Structure 1
Amino acid sequence: MSTKVAVCVTGATGFIASWLVFHTASPVSFSAADPQAEIIDPAVKGTLNVLKSCAKSPSVKRVIVTSSTASIFYTGKPVNKDSVADETWFSDPEHCKDLKIWYQLSKTLAEIAAWDFAKENGVDMVTIHPGLVIGPFLQPSLSFSVEVILNLVNGNKSSPLSHFSVVDVRDVAEAHIKAFETPSASGRYCLVESSVPLSQVLGILHKLYPTLPLSDKCGEVDIMNLPGFGVSKEKAEGLGIKFIPLEESLKDTVECLKEKEFLLF
């Protein structure tokens, strides 16, 4: 039996006649003149618009919502390098507001609203929570995640991140499919292959591309306001995800940047 798929890439309203809906869109921005109007409202209202449409269609069997580790990591509770985040963690909206991290707030509020709606309306929903998504990309433009790697390879002396919680885009895609194909799939799924400091990412890139003008160390700005800690793979591996190693993901990211002529070497 074939699977019918509707991929929702906007906050569109209307009747969706399908068996499966992926809701993947949300503004990815870390600053705005009006965070409520530019980042938060589109994330929350867009997600609810999709779920409302799904609730009207009895043929929709499950909704897969692409969330983020942004709605997991920012609990406001003390953590250290020995802490391990998992699906039970939930970012605190008030903590996000205090830090003025609007993207993280938008993903958190959107997920809270989604779960409330799903439970009240009997929508079978699963949420996927990737970290920084790297690997070979299809689009002609650069995502925030891939641009971070490009800047490192170009030898920039500053980085927006001091710690990387990373996953390959191919694993993210597979997780979405498995979340639909596995009847027992439920709840939230963290997707992070490696959680490592910037220095380790630079070390791998140095090893792979020793002739590139990589910095020995980048300035650690870290717009994510996130200390380094581990992330559990247990639930994702239970779904059948066999994570692509960080070194392979970094290499494939750089090779894709070369292929699309963002890098000339």
Structure 2
Amino acid sequence: MGVWESLRIEVPAKEVASTGGRKHVCVTGNWSLLGSWLVRNLLEKGYNVRCTFRTTVDEAAALMALPGAEQRLELTQADLLDYGSLVEAFMGCDGVFHTSSPSDVISNYSPEMADFEVRGTLNIVEACANSSVKRLVLTSSLAAMVWDQQRHAEKVIDEKCWSNLELCRSKKLWGPLTKTMTEKAAWSLARDKELDMVVINPAIVLGPRVFGTTQNIFTYLKGVTELPQSGLFAYAHVEDVAEAHVRALEATEATGRYICYETVVSEEKLVELIRKLYPDSKIPSRFSKNGVPHVLSNEKIKKLGMVFPAQQKLH
């Protein structure tokens, strides 16, 4: 049993009663842990959802089996590099969620991903600015904030922090590099176009998929080659990250960036957790067991009403 199965009890989704003035939203991206949970959350809240996921026939059928999907979920095709297809997908939508690059697998990025993600995200921003969209909620990553050798460990990492691009290039950290470049480019264009954009910067996203396997700590660690300085390892439950996105759309006062995480784990604690969850697994030698975690702040996102129930359960 993975860590999240031991912390959360799955509750069947309940259909939301029909209400007038229901909003239309679009969720862009691929078949990711976060994206599928976001679609589920929106349907539960009564939204009409247009989804541009690139899915298999089986995955599409699974999405359409969600409560409310038959009446309020539309699956369509859109290419991030095709501006016209994005404008068409956003037609009539009040809000857009761009979750194209799953923040839970940033360790698997290649050097070529940066150009693709930057261009695709800029197309999203441009299409939103030239359509009915009132707010864009963009998924970035905590990785766009924490990689900076000039930052002292005792300094609190908050929404003003950015990862250092040269450091990311020198260490070949293509995931953090891509996330940082993409978010900075998106902010620049959004301000130029006067588009209302809010960014969620989640930590590592873990939890059960809406359909299929669970993304747990060890699944993620199999792809990690290096931790940020001082052993920073923070994570959040996918259900909470999806809820944070919806609140970022709904809250009129939402603005700027929002760090979303539940718990920060030191390398020593991480090794203990791996041994507890996976006693037969070999501990990766890259973990020195003496890292001191950075101090992160998620106070801003709590002002949107977010609470993290699992935060006390791993201590």
1:237 aligns with 2:309: no
- Pairing 1:117–2:202 present: no
Residue 89 of structure 1: how far off its partner (Å): 0.4
Is 1:26–1:42's contact at 8 Å kept on the other side of the alignment? no
Q: CA deviation at 1:203?
A: 4.0
1:213 has 2:287 as partner: no
Residue 105, structure 1, aligned to residue 125, structure 2: no
RMSD: 3.0
Paired position in structure 2 for 1:259: none
**C-alpha distance after superposition, 1:139-179 (max 9, x if no partner):** 5466xxx2642488xxx9x9865542111111100110000
Determine the structure 1 residue equivalent to 2:268.
Answer: 199
Structure 1 stretches of 4+ moved >3 Å? 27-32, 139-142, 158-163, 201-207, 246-249
Q: Which of these residues, 44, 49, 55, is aligned with residue 123 of structure 2?
A: 49
Change (3 A) 1:165 1:227: same
Task: Please name the residue that 1:257 is paired with.
Answer: none
Q: Percent identity?
A: 35
Equivalent residues of 1:62, 1:180 under 8 A apart: yes
Matched with 1:76 is: 149
Structure 2 unmatched runs, 5+: 1-20, 31-79
* 1:19 and 2:84 are equivalent in the alignment: no
Separation in 1, partners of 2:147, 2:262: 19
Cα displacement string for residues 219-254 of structure 1 (whole angstroms, at most 9, x for unaligned residues)? 3426xxx973121011011111101315768xxxxx
Aligned-partner residue type, residue 9 of structure 1? G
SS of the aligned residue for 1:135 comes to strand
Instruction: Tell me if structure 2 keeps the 8 A contact 1:76–1:91.
Output: no
1:136–1:100 distance in 2 versus 1, CA, 3 Å: same
TM-score, with length taken from structure 2:
0.65
Q: Judge conservation of contact 2:95–2:133 (CA < 8 Å) in 1.
A: yes
Q: Given residue 149 of structure 2, which amino acid in structure 1 is its aligned partner?
A: G
Whether the 8 Å contact between 2:232 and 2:264 is mirrored in structure 1 is yes
Shift of 1:198: 3.8
Residue of structure 2 equivalent to 1:134:
206
**AA at the equivalent of 2:185:** A
Aligned residues: 231
SS at match of 2:208: coil
SS in 2 for 1:167: strand
Cα distance in 2, alignment partners of residues 238 and 20 from structure 1: 21
Q: Does 1:185 align with 2:254?
A: yes
**C-alpha spacing 1:151/1:73, structure 2 compared with 1 (3 Å):** closer
CA distance in 2, matches of 1:159, 1:147: 17
Deviation at 1:62, TM superposition (A): 0.1
- 1:68–1:129 CA contact under 8 A, matched in 2: yes
Paired residues of 1:159 and 1:219 also in contact (CA < 8 A): no
Query: Residue type of the partner of 1:194?
Result: T
Instruction: Assess if the C-alpha contact under 8 Å between 1:160 and 1:220 holds in 2.
Output: no
Aligned partner of 1:260 in structure 2 is none
